[in-house]
Amino acid sequence: MNSIKDITIYDIAARLHISPATVSRGLNGHPSISLKTKRKIKECAKELGYRSNAFASNLRKKCSNTIGVIVPRLNSNFMSDIIAGIEKTVSEAGYNAIISQSLETEKKEALNAVTMYNNMVDGLLVSAAYDSKNISHFEPFLKKNIPVIFFDRVLTSDLCSSITIDNFKAAYEITSHLITRGCKKLMHITGNTLCNVYLERMNGFKKALSDNNLKINSSEIIVSNLSFEAGIDLADRILKMDEIPEGIFVANDTCAASCMLELKKRGVKIPGDMLFAGFNNDPISKIVEPNLTTIDYRGFEMGEIAAKTLIGHLNHTHDINLTKSVVLRHELIIRESSNATWTRMKDIS
């Protein structure tokens, strides 16, 4: 089957009996072309099904008015909030966003970066995959002075800015909260500690235990993919331990909620027998029973600030080289899953 030929400015020019140069100027809003002629050109272009060659135009202008965004996964409430903040901000500034997901692998992240580079994005916003170790696949951008900003999950580099929260401090606060409720034997369920957010949360957990003269056992720090399904498996693992923990801090809400529900199903009273805390303040934390103690930080705000920082740099109103790191506020939200003095502590006294 023969393909239909693309409509060009020459076809529009032939239909309207004007020069191709006039058509080109009219489509691009040139002031030398009258409003009446511009309107005729655009109506004819629409009727014939003309598509502008954005790639060729970008080559001429050396910019695309497009921001690239790479996230670990799209099926995350937190990432959805971030993307909403990014899209609102770039749209208001007259830019478009191309969004892709790495599916939590460095290999896919590198492929996404190549696609973004070949599409001539003006800048790149990235939240790194679980196993990303360095910025080598972003070096083509940096060599051409195309700005790269990391948010939430960041890769350390003097060449890139970052937008984060203080994960260490947040984890320290939530662990200290569990300790003040009477927990002396605590467990932390974390993600891949190659990833900055999980490493910092684990270190905050350890520091809180150390500052309260509590023993840190490696068996009480479990690395997981933090999925809903993983939470169910972890509940079984916890119940098979010789000494069941008194308080559990999980590095995200999804895994925390599923683990807590499975433990309840198996007869564990929460907060009566065990206290629980998550991280992110996802919607599930407010739906699960008991409601889950967590750390709140605003994904929408993080997306807005990341996009504003990048666009400010592109518009020459902000130099990202002068602000290498932005740390956003967070808040400990105490809910029913930990809002009680631990029962067995009461029984001892």
Q: Which domains does the chain have, with CATH numbers?
A: 9-52 (1.10.260.40), 65-159+298-330 (3.40.50.2300), 167-293+334-348 (3.40.50.2300)
Which residues is 67 bridged to in the sheet? 97, 123
The predicted pLDDT at position 28 comes to: 79
Mean pLDDT of the chain: 89
Checking if the pLDDT of 349 tops 60, the result is no
Residue 222 pLDDT: 96
The tens digit of pLDDT for each residue in 118-143 reads 888 999 999 999 889 889 999 999 99
d(CA 328, CA 297): 8
Would you state the structure tokens that stand for residue 324, as one six-digit string?
């290498």
Its pTM stands at: 0.81
Which percentage of the chain shows pLDDT scores above 70? Answer: 91
Q: Which of 172, 156, 183, 160 is nearest to 276 (CA)?
A: 183
H or E element in which residue 148 lies:
strand 148-151
DSSP 293: B
Residue 339's pLDDT band (cuts 50, 70, 90): confident
- What's the burial of 205, exposed, middle or buried (CB within 10 Å: 0-12/13-18/19+)? buried
Alpha helix (H) residue ranges in the chain = 9-16, 20-27, 35-48, 54-61, 77-92, 106-118, 139-143, 167-180, 196-211, 228-239, 253-265, 284-287, 299-314, 343-348
Neighbours of 349 (CB within 10 A): 6
| pLDDT (mean) for 111-119 | 92
